[in-house]
Chains A and B, each alone.
Chain A
Amino acid sequence: MSRKPNFKELLSLDRDKSFSAKEKETLSKLLASDNALAEEQEEFNLSLNFLKDAAYDEEEIKVDDTFNGRVIRRFRVEQRNRSWSSMLPAVVGAVTAAVGLIAIIQVVSAPVTESTLDLQNQKAELETSEFPVIPEFTE
């Protein structure tokens, strides 16, 4: 549910955008019903005019013929920089993952340590197949 604007906000809005017929009618009714509000509107308009005068008192800024072109070029460069920087997380992610994966692969693919056991010539015999001789003891 939207908030009902107060009088000052209405005045400001009146300057910023064109009101609909209904909104204009509401504003007129408010001004007609209350003198204080009418005065407030007058003060508001006065302040705004001061501000406008202050802004336009300066000498007119002179720009050369290439100004528009430079502005457009600057805009394009900034746009391109923005698009590159927006891709930065993807680039960082790609590089990090690639480096990390290569490191893991290096670790897991290290050659298995060669067994010192000579499988080719080993015989399939248990060492316990021979029993030691039991000595005879004499007193």
Chain B
Amino acid sequence: MSNFRLGLTGALVGALVVLLIHPVTRPFVQNGLWRFGVSQAADQSPTIAQNLNVLPEPSDLVTASLWMSEGCRRIKANHHLTTNELLTFVEIAQASAEREPDNAFWAHTEAIFQQALDNPEASVRAWKRASKLDQWNDYQNQRLAQYVADLNKEEGRQMAWHWALAYSVKGFHTPALIAQYGLTQLRNDNSLDSRLDLIRSGLLVRDGARSRLGSELGWQMIESGALGTSIALDSRKEFVARRFSFIDQLAQANRNEDAIYVNSVLASNEAWDAALKGVEKQNRPRFLSAQAAIIATLPGSLLLAALASTLVYVLGTLFRSVLFKFKEGWILPAILAAVVGSILFFLTRLTFPTVFMIIVLAGFLIRPRVAPLDRKEFHFDAWMVWASAIIGLMFLVAITGVASFQSPPVKTVDDYADLGLNLIYSRETGLTLAVIFTGALIGLAQVWAYLRRRDPYIASGMALKSMGMTGLVVGIVLGVVTCPLVIAADRQLTDTLSQIVQNEPTYYLQDL
């Protein structure tokens, strides 16, 4: 081996050792190389109600907010709640409101549970009380911060996909039920006071929900309060006229302060509408989440694909150095097809690629009249060399995709955020492609051997070795090179996604 090759090999080994040992790079290498399946922390963290068998004792406001959120989630899903359970929710809401009298979240949720208990008077009292307050905090951010901390602990480092996951588990049941409750109240009581209460509550939810969807519900409450109806108006002219007639009505009733307040709220609502509504913004967190999940797996997946390429190289060596000695007869192709077919089916459980490979290996039954000279030593034509290298790269991409999409970041984010990545590139698709690429190269080598009167086992072995070596070298080099790039990109995505999770509307306003 030349000094240059020795140096290059040493550099790759040195870099690999650092990637595997360094605490910063290790999380990026382990995902896709040896960690697969859904994240355990995501499925077991007690900060998410879905992971709990029993709700924890509401000894602090954060846990109490978890109770409120869970109660609203059950009502939203039409899940039956007993009277005792509803009474418990009401008691927790009242107790929390005593501890934090400025937070309208407790009064809003009490109104919802009182309504579910069929206590309309108590419910309306809580609703009106909420509209007089000036804060709204559902403590979801605090719970999500703990959720992200649990994921960090599992991974050994904070990564962008943790925030992507936090965004996907963010609930909107409470703002949705509050909006629903407010609009029902509007239908029952269309008075100026009732409409004003709805606008005040809407403003609290819009500014306090800290998510685009939650804020949009608050925005809807404000608009409905101003219009005096929850029904969408077709005419823009009528919309504007009714919206501002409410201000006139307040002024005519000598409620100038309220009129100024409503005018200001409606102006801010218009600004909110212009800044935050739009298809692009709806898709941005999903796009960023997919990006965060995939890049977190890239170095590890490339290294796994390099390992798989090593197996192809070993298979090529077997063909090249051993199998060609047993060239005569049908027994060897039959054994080869049976063994390789069985191993493939055992590993992949896929029928089509297994049958394809068996058919390709059966091609060894057709033997060309091998030229007597240079039986073992020959060179490929240039197109065969290129074909082996290109198929090696295609194999690398196919296996990288499988490893990436089966690793915890992609699998968990895809499951929780319903991104549909599994539909684009499933494990079955990737493995089928990898087997077809390998089989196609063996078939191509057989055809070449037949045309050039060479031994097909040796030709196939040479092609597989070339393919495996291409995948091995490119996989390791890319795995090493992409790691620092991925770390830098992940850092930026962590910053962006954490801002979106903590306060999505503010993030978009900053971005204007």
Among candidates B206, B484, B495, B509, residue contacting A101 with C-beta atoms closer than 8 Å: B484
Contacts A112-B491, A124-B506, A126-B509: A93 and B6 contacting too (C-beta < 8 A)?
yes
A119 proximity list for chain B (CB < 8 A): 499, 502-503, 506-507
Q: Is A117 an interface residue (CB 8 A)?
A: yes
Cβ-closest chain B residue relative to A87: B6
0/1 string, A109-138, CB within 8 A of B gives 1: 100100101011011111011100000000
Cβ-closest chain A residue relative to B502: A119
Cβ-closest chain A residue relative to B501: A119
A125 proximity list for chain B (CB < 8 A): 207, 268, 271-272
Contacts A101-B480, A122-B503: A89 and B18 contacting too (C-beta < 8 A)?
no
- Expressed in whole angstroms, the Cα–Cα distance for A92 and B491 within the complex equals 31
Q: Is A32 an interface residue (CB 8 A)?
A: no
Cβ-closest chain B residue relative to A128: B271
Cβ-closest chain B residue relative to A102: B18
- Expressed in whole angstroms, the Cα–Cα distance for A91 and B7 within the complex equals 7
Cβ-closest chain B residue relative to A98: B14
* CB of B227 to closest CB in A, whole Å: 19
0/1 string, B474-511, CB within 8 A of A gives 1: 00000010011101100110110001001101110110
- Expressed in whole angstroms, the Cα–Cα distance for A90 and B17 within the complex equals 14
- Expressed in whole angstroms, the Cα–Cα distance for A122 and B505 within the complex equals 10
B14 proximity list for chain A (CB < 8 A): 93-98, 101
Task: Decide: B268 and A129 in contact? CB cutoff 8 A.
Answer: yes
0/1 string, B344-360, CB within 8 A of A gives 1: 00000000000000000
- Expressed in whole angstroms, the Cα–Cα distance for A126 and B25 within the complex equals 41
A124 proximity list for chain B (CB < 8 A): 206-207, 215, 272, 276, 503, 505-506, 509
Per the 8 Å Cβ criterion, residues 196-223 of B in contact with A are: 206-207, 215
Q: Is B8 an interface residue (CB 8 A)?
A: yes
Q: Is A104 an interface residue (CB 8 A)?
A: yes
A92 proximity list for chain B (CB < 8 A): 7, 10
Task: Decide: B484 and A104 in contact? CB cutoff 8 A.
Answer: yes
A-B CB contacts (within 8 Å), total count: 112
0/1 string, A73-95, CB within 8 A of B gives 1: 00000000000001101111111
Per the 8 Å Cβ criterion, residues 1-37 of B in contact with A are: 3-4, 6-15, 17-19, 22, 24-25
B276 proximity list for chain A (CB < 8 A): 124
Among candidates A93, A98, A102, A115, residue contacting B9 with C-beta atoms closer than 8 Å: A93
Contacts A125-B271, A129-B271: A90 and B487 contacting too (C-beta < 8 A)?
no
Q: Is B365 an interface residue (CB 8 A)?
A: no
Q: Is A108 an interface residue (CB 8 A)?
A: yes
Among candidates B7, B485, B506, residue contacting A122 with C-beta atoms closer than 8 Å: B506
- Expressed in whole angstroms, the Cα–Cα distance for A10 and B51 within the complex equals 94
A97 proximity list for chain B (CB < 8 A): 10-12, 14-15, 18, 480
Task: Decide: B207 and A102 in contact? CB cutoff 8 A.
Answer: no
A63 proximity list for chain B (CB < 8 A): none
* CB of A37 to closest CB in B, whole Å: 42
- Expressed in whole angstroms, the Cα–Cα distance for A115 and B496 within the complex equals 11
Cβ-closest chain B residue relative to A111: B491
B422 proximity list for chain A (CB < 8 A): none
Contacts A105-B487, A119-B506, A124-B505: A130 and B22 contacting too (C-beta < 8 A)?
no
- Expressed in whole angstroms, the Cα–Cα distance for A122 and B510 within the complex equals 11
Task: Decide: B491 and A90 in contact? CB cutoff 8 A.
Answer: no
Q: Is B185 an interface residue (CB 8 A)?
A: no
* CB of B244 to closest CB in A, whole Å: 16
0/1 string, B132-176, CB within 8 A of A gives 1: 000000000100000000000000000000000000000000000
- Give the top 6 A-B pairs by smallest Cβ distance, nearest first: A94-B14, A90-B10, A93-B10, A124-B505, A97-B11, A93-B7
Q: Interface of A with B (CB < 8 Å)? A: 86-87, 89-98, 101-102, 104-105, 108-109, 112, 115, 117, 119-120, 122-126, 128-130
Q: List 14 A-B contacts (CB under 8 A).
A: A94-B11, A94-B14, A97-B18, A97-B480, A105-B25, A108-B491, A109-B24, A112-B495, A115-B499, A117-B506, A119-B499, A124-B503, A126-B509, A129-B267
14 more contacts with CB within 8 A, not counting A90-B7, A91-B10, A94-B14, are: A90-B10, A93-B8, A95-B14, A96-B14, A98-B18, A101-B22, A101-B483, A102-B18, A115-B499, A117-B510, A124-B272, A124-B503, A129-B270, A130-B267
